[in-house]
Structure 1
Amino acid sequence: MDTTLTLLDLGGAVALLLWGVHMVQTGVQRAFGPGLRRFLGLALSSRAKAVAAGLGITALLQSSTATGLMVASFASEGLIGLVPALAVMLGANVGTTLIVQLLSFDIARVTPLFVLIGVMMFRHGSEPRTRDLGRAAIGLGLMLLALSQLLSVMTPYEDVPSLRMLFGAIATDRVVAVLLGAALTWAAHSSVAVVLLVMSFTVKGVVPLEAGMALVLGANLGSAINPVLEGAHGGDATGRRVALGNLINRAIGCVVALPLLGLIGPAMVEYQPNLSRALADFHTVFNLAVAAVFLPLLGPMGRLLTRLLPEHVDPHDPGRPLHLDTNALETPPIALGNAGREALRMAEVLAEMIRGAEEAITGDDRSRVSATKRMSGTLERLNTAIKAYLVRIDPDALSEADERRAAALLAFATNLEHAGDILSRNVMALAAKRLKRGLAFSKDGEAEIRDLLHRLATNLNTAGAVFMTEDLRAARILADEKAVFRDLEAKATEAHLRRLREAGTPTAEATELYPDLVRDLKRVNDHLVSGAAYPILESQGVLRPSRLRGE
């Protein structure tokens, strides 16, 4: 019975530690996520800056995985190369050691202060960022509380024979210790939590210092395994190269450091008698050494990773650009034409989404909802590829007309993506709600929705033609559709209210579903007009700055 209670206490303390780490990560990421992403994008001009950026961001997030996801997204979008991405990961590995350094000091007495301040910020903060930082402060307090709980749980049972036997096996075989540390980190998804746990065991004498260092090496190795395993089930090749490169760096570092622990351990104790601080210092020094050794070797490693993980091209992937020929970048008119062809592919995807929306809204096929939602990702990928392609065109080679065309391209592609987002997030959500609740439109209401979707499809075809021909008359016709849709929305809403009065008092859900759907379809049409007609009308000087009458 005592053993069971001890295991429960130990498990609860470990769970509390993991949850505290999670709260720190999510709190900081919610508070500074977009700003950190922008900062990371601006700090990748050199390897040294990339390492510093990875260190700083991961020190805040306490998650090299989160930093790696940012880097992988930049790399997959073609915004950064593989070598700077690997440099960021070297810095990220060092950044994860900083909170371990902080918690290795005896700051348990400030645990209530962190929790108190965090709760006050979370409950009474008027800004979202204040509440998110309060969440992070609570998480830090929970981490300190969990460490204190671990020490109190281990104290009465540090001489239990079964526990001594388990950790004796770890102490006698360093390879087993590394594998155990890697497995624990893989399961916990947090090297910080595992290193702190090992520090607690080492301070209480349950684990010798050298075995603790071997477990720390395993924690460093295990934190690099999850991204590789997740990338193995799909994802961009560049992201998988970054994850594999990070794993190779850490694995080589572990192989080199493991036989030297007999020399490193006494040196660390002589330098720092406090075992908790000694382990924290070893954790930091190991990652600093790996970064210093591999930073000059990232070029050859990048070439090796490219050969090991070649780009897999799926000819049937609708999100893969087909016309963005890099050889045409030196000739802006041809490059702009290629980007225009790719933008028309986005229009074709949006047309398929409109057809899927009609089937999902008026039919009973639930699969069309998820299939139409997935197409939004295709639009996003094509839009990202077009933007990255246009950025690579030499600005000095662009004429005034070329710059105007490039701006029109960006406006068209961006508005198509936004239109797809509305269909995916709003219209499909309403369709899913209708199917889930078993709601049905009246015959007249369903006919009105079909008419709106058909008119929307026609306007999309017109938008594609206006975009390609830049014809002023066609642009005027498309712009007039904005007023037509506005009138159709008003008439449809009025007819819907009339039918509700005739039918009696319906549920609130049925009342809200129809007008919200019509309003969202009007917003899709607005994006078509803004993306195709307005750039032409504005360039010809026939677009009014405001719909308001003059005084």
Structure 2
Amino acid sequence: MLILLNLLSGVALLVWGSHIVRTGILRVLGADLRRVLSRSTDSRFKAFGAGVAVTSLVQSSNATAVILTSFAAQGLLPLASGLAIMLGADVGTALMARILTLDLSWLSPILVLVGVPLFLSRKQTRAGQVGRTAIGLGLILLALHLIVEAVQPMMQGAGVRVMFGALTGDTLLDALVGAAFAMISYSSLAAVLLTATLASSGVISLKVALCLVIGANLGSGLLALTGTLAQNAAARRLALGSLAFKLAGAFLILPFTSLLASGLPMLISLPREAVVGFHLIYNTLRCLACVPLIDPVARFCYRVLPDRPDPNGELRSLHLDVAALPTPTLALANAAREVLRIGDIVRTMLDNVADLIHRNDLQKARETARLDDDVDYLYAAVKDYLSRISREQLDETDSRRWTDIISLTINLEHAGDIIERIVADIEEKKISHRLSFSEEGLGELDDLHARLVSNLQLGLSVFLNNDLGCAELLLAEKERFRDLERAYSYKHLDRLAGQTVRSIETSALHLDMLSDMKRLNSLFCSTAYPVLDAAGALHDTRLRKRTLDAIHVATE
């Protein structure tokens, strides 16, 4: 019993090590890997090579599939290019299996010895995640060594032979067992490494090992497909196409496993090397042969899973991919893109306000008020998405980014509410009474509106790029806006004193709009403060502003 527990614990350690390596690499290079994959769509073979390279790093075709299906769901990746990358990912997994089965037992203690202090001392940094990856690699190598030691005494027991005896007759059953293990362990790589180790110890025959390897490939395809069930048709088409390639390869090769099992030892004598070599050769030949079939398979996937229009026509978040949540860097990038989408809706609302200032359009006023519901929906979606990101896994930089994203989300939601109130006031106090602003008042509102739009765009740019110069400019624009709002309020009071009829009729609305615009501008300019504060320039900027104000007052 103890020997069996040792084997199972070795398998669990192998799975856990694979998980640690995958998450560590994604946290260090997640955004860069996404960028490489997104820019590899202009050539099939370039896309294929990108899939090989990225999957060799993360050691998991499933992790690559998560990134790709996220791109596909957002409409950022053509199906044909995605299928080419997925084929490359299968080859990348086979390459890593070959490397990890080399005699690297001496490397395991070194990796763990270096990785543990590096990770514990610098958990929330990129260096700490590199240490985490080193620990994972060390655990994988240690697990393989433990599995080899555990199976040696097991071969002496009759119970073990009976247990594995079920994997000696039925080719399809053996393949299904391999698929099941790959799905349970969430790693076809772990399944292949375990199979190679069991074959080298004589626990299973070479034929069974080959069937298990083919089944592990199928399991990774099923994992990708089940992971996209909650996503749209574009993501599911990509996973379906990848699974179709794997099914075709399995059906072609499974009838010949007995022949391969008898002939392969003449080329590769060691069972472990034979299993891993077969895995690499099989995946490479299968994937290269499938590259010319990408277009027909893509058309088949479109027929099986066509795009269907949303019957409700409701707004939906485009970038909040749940599959990216275990990788905080990727999840934060997704949230930032969705926040920029909220900014675009707020910009549309502002443009509509400009029209309502000039024209009494009741339909546009009500459509603008309805847009605030879209802002509220996306605000709730982003807030929920951010709350599901583990704060403990964020380093210092990502923690600041998390705070910046939630702050901007809240500010844009407040901005939507303010614009909705402005529109309601226009509808009640101007449109319903068929009034219009005076020429002077109209010019003032147009000026402040143009500055609002400009500062919104500049604020979103500062949020996206963290540019110090733009942040300082944005803070200066905030002060300038405040001064203009005060000056325009005084001018309006002068027009009231001069008995300007239109100014009298729209006075309450005009002053309320000036005040609301100032609040909007403060919300839009708030993105400058984190950038200035991080650069240590916030105090200097405020001090310089006070000095210039004092000089201005002294010279008047």
TM-score, with structure 2 as normaliser: 0.64
Indicate whether 1:10 and 2:4 are aligned: no
Indicate whether 1:58 and 2:65 are aligned: no
Change (3 A) 1:350 1:116: farther
Indicate whether 1:373 and 2:380 are aligned: yes
- The answer as to whether partners of 1:96 and 1:192 remain within 8 angstroms in 2 is yes
Q: Which residue of 1 aligns with 2:143?
A: 146
CA displacement at 1:6 relative to structure 2: 2.8
Residue of structure 2 aligned with 1:307, choices 297, 303, 307: 303
- The answer as to whether partners of 1:25 and 1:63 remain within 8 angstroms in 2 is yes
Q: Which one-letter code corresponds to 2:447 in the other structure? A: L
Q: Which residue of 2 aligns with 1:289?
A: 285
Q: Which residue of 1 aligns with 2:242?
A: 246
- The answer as to whether partners of 1:459 and 1:528 remain within 8 angstroms in 2 is no
Q: Which one-letter code corresponds to 1:257 in the other structure? A: I
1 CA distance for matches of 2:279 and 2:519?
Answer: 54
Residue of structure 2 aligned with 1:161, choices 153, 158, 165: 158
Q: Which residue of 2 aligns with 1:118?
A: 115
Q: Which residue of 1 aligns with 2:64?
A: 67
Question: Helix, strand or coil: the match of 2:228?
Answer: helix
Q: Which residue of 1 aligns with 2:348?
A: 344
- The answer as to whether partners of 1:463 and 1:528 remain within 8 angstroms in 2 is no
Indicate whether 1:422 and 2:397 are aligned: no
Mapping for residues 65-104 of structure 1, pairs under 5 Å: 65-104=62-101
Residue of structure 1 aligned with 2:418, choices 458, 471, 474: 458
- The answer as to whether partners of 1:419 and 1:528 remain within 8 angstroms in 2 is no
Residue of structure 2 aligned with 1:237, choices 211, 233, 237: 233
1 CA distance for matches of 2:71 and 2:265?
Answer: 42
Change (3 A) 1:377 1:481: farther
Q: Which one-letter code corresponds to 2:267 in the other structure? A: Y
- The answer as to whether partners of 2:418 and 2:520 remain within 8 angstroms in 1 is no
CA displacement at 1:166 relative to structure 2: 2.5
- The answer as to whether partners of 1:55 and 1:94 remain within 8 angstroms in 2 is yes
Indicate whether 1:318 and 2:325 are aligned: no
TM-score, with structure 1 as normaliser: 0.65
2 CA distance for matches of 1:316 and 1:354?
Answer: 18
Change (3 A) 1:130 1:247: same
- The answer as to whether partners of 2:72 and 2:78 remain within 8 angstroms in 1 is yes
Change (3 A) 1:525 1:170: farther
1 CA distance for matches of 2:202 and 2:452?
Answer: 81
1 CA distance for matches of 2:120 and 2:245?
Answer: 43
Computed over aligned residues only, the root mean square deviation of the Cα atoms, in angstroms, reads 4.1
Per-residue Cα deviation, 1:187-219 (whole angstroms, up to 9, x for no partner): 111111111111111011010011101001111
Indicate whether 1:266 and 2:276 are aligned: no
Residue of structure 2 aligned with 1:471, choices 446, 450, 470: 446
Moved more, 157-166 or 50-59: 157-166
1 CA distance for matches of 2:381 and 2:242?
Answer: 31
Residue of structure 1 aligned with 2:133, choices 105, 128, 136: 136
Moved more, 119-128 or 255-264: 119-128
Question: Helix, strand or coil: the match of 2:167?
Answer: helix
- The answer as to whether partners of 1:353 and 1:423 remain within 8 angstroms in 2 is no
Mapping for residues 395-410 of structure 1, pairs under 5 Å: none
- The answer as to whether partners of 2:415 and 2:523 remain within 8 angstroms in 1 is no
CA displacement at 1:108 relative to structure 2: 1.1
Q: Which residue of 1 aligns with 2:191?
A: 194
1 CA distance for matches of 2:374 and 2:406?
Answer: 10
2 CA distance for matches of 1:210 and 1:99?
Answer: 22
Q: Which one-letter code corresponds to 1:352 in the other structure? A: D
CA displacement at 1:107 relative to structure 2: 1.4
Moved more, 44-53 or 164-173: 164-173
- The answer as to whether partners of 1:100 and 1:195 remain within 8 angstroms in 2 is yes
Change (3 A) 1:10 1:486: farther
- The answer as to whether partners of 1:182 and 1:220 remain within 8 angstroms in 2 is yes
Change (3 A) 1:124 1:262: same
CA displacement at 1:471 relative to structure 2: 3.4
- The answer as to whether partners of 1:64 and 1:92 remain within 8 angstroms in 2 is yes
Residue of structure 2 aligned with 1:105, choices 102, 107, 121: 102
1 CA distance for matches of 2:117 and 2:404?
Answer: 41
CA displacement at 1:227 relative to structure 2: 1.8
1 CA distance for matches of 2:72 and 2:123?
Answer: 36
Residue of structure 2 aligned with 1:28, choices 5, 21, 25: 25
- The answer as to whether partners of 1:482 and 1:525 remain within 8 angstroms in 2 is yes
- The answer as to whether partners of 1:171 and 1:208 remain within 8 angstroms in 2 is yes
CA displacement at 1:91 relative to structure 2: 0.2
CA displacement at 1:317 relative to structure 2: 4.8
2 CA distance for matches of 1:84 and 1:103?
Answer: 29
- The answer as to whether partners of 1:463 and 1:529 remain within 8 angstroms in 2 is no
Per-residue Cα deviation, 1:275-298 (whole angstroms, up to 9, x for no partner): 111111111111111211110011
Change (3 A) 1:35 1:470: farther
Change (3 A) 1:148 1:462: same
Change (3 A) 1:11 1:470: farther
Q: Which residue of 1 aligns with 2:440?
A: none
- The answer as to whether partners of 2:178 and 2:216 remain within 8 angstroms in 1 is yes
Which ranges in structure 1 are unaligned for 5 or more consecutive residues? 323-338, 357-370, 379-417, 428-451, 488-521, 532-543
CA displacement at 1:221 relative to structure 2: 0.5
CA displacement at 1:457 relative to structure 2: 2.0
CA displacement at 1:77 relative to structure 2: 2.6
2 CA distance for matches of 1:93 and 1:79?
Answer: 22
The count of corresponding residues between Structure 1 and Structure 2 is 406
- The answer as to whether partners of 1:353 and 1:420 remain within 8 angstroms in 2 is no
Question: Helix, strand or coil: the match of 2:106?
Answer: helix
Per-residue Cα deviation, 1:259-279 (whole angstroms, up to 9, x for no partner): 111222233212211211111
